[in-house]
Amino acid sequence: MIFADSREPDRIVEMLKSMGVEVQRKRLSVADYLITYSSYAIAVERKDADDYVNSIADGRLFDQLYRLTRLYELSFICVIGSVDFYRMRRDAFIGSIVSIALKSRGSVVPLWVKDEKDFCLVLKSLNRQVEGGRIKATPRIVKKASIDDSVAMLTAIPGVGVEKAKKLLERFGSVFRVVNATIPELMRVEGIGEKQARRIYDFVRGRRVK
């Protein structure tokens, strides 16, 4: 069974049904599709190429990865379509794909497909693997995010230790606001100068950190 978020395009749901896949719409809090069978579940986030590049630029991808890894033992981010390499260098794009797997320690698998038909084929294949018992991943049982969780997440940024992470949270209130902060805003945090602020800003946007 595949649950499609109620905000997902009708054309994708109809394409899945035409492939013989059982699909139901449901409002999902995390991810765009949820593939379930018995007690197993894997999440799939769909991004067209432009949205993927934008989500790196505005920090959404960093936040989405965190939520996926907290809630699901295994999930996928599927990038669809051609990338405008004038907006993002090819090596930076490939590097961002690789870094997803590395930062999530393999619990989030990145895929890049040609079009929506190929994306539907990915969903169909995953659904078949789950129903056949070849993928056995259970949702994580998690408590409400605590300040310790947020500190741990921010310490993944090069040069940010526990104390700086706490100061960032004191200033901005949440990880989401930290990753969306501008360089001047980051520099207002005690102990963070322009160089450190730029490193944080670049890291959460998937850019090369110098």
User: 34 pairs with which residues across the strands?
Assistant: 3, 43
The C-alpha atoms of residue 153 and residue 63 are separated, in whole angstroms, by 10
**pLDDT for the residue numbered 146:** 53
Task: State whether residue 203 is helix, strand or coil.
Answer: helix
- One-letter amino acid identity for 164? K
Query: Mind listing the pLDDT tens digit for each residue in 42-54?
Result: 999 999 999 998 8
Question: Is a pLDDT exceeding 90 seen at residue 139?
Answer: no
Evaluate whether 2-131 and 147-204 have a shared fold. Answer: no
Task: State whether residue 61 is helix, strand or coil.
Answer: helix
Mean pLDDT across 115-141: 92
What is the pairing mode between strands 108-113 and 75-80? parallel
CATH class of 2-131: alpha beta
Query: Mind listing the pLDDT tens digit for each residue in 1-29?
Result: 999 999 999 999 999 999 999 999 999 88
| C-alpha of 25 from chain center | 21
Ordered by start, the domain boundaries in the chain are 2-131, 147-204
Query: Mind listing the pLDDT tens digit for each residue in 173-194?
Result: 888 888 888 888 999 998 899 9
pLDDT band at 162 (very low <50, low <70, confident <90, very high): confident
Which residue from 185, 186, 184 is spatially nearest to 200, judged by alpha carbons? 186
Q: What's the CATH architecture for 147-204?
A: Orthogonal Bundle (1.10)
Token pair, residue 143, equals: 């408590």
| C-alpha of 23 from chain center | 23
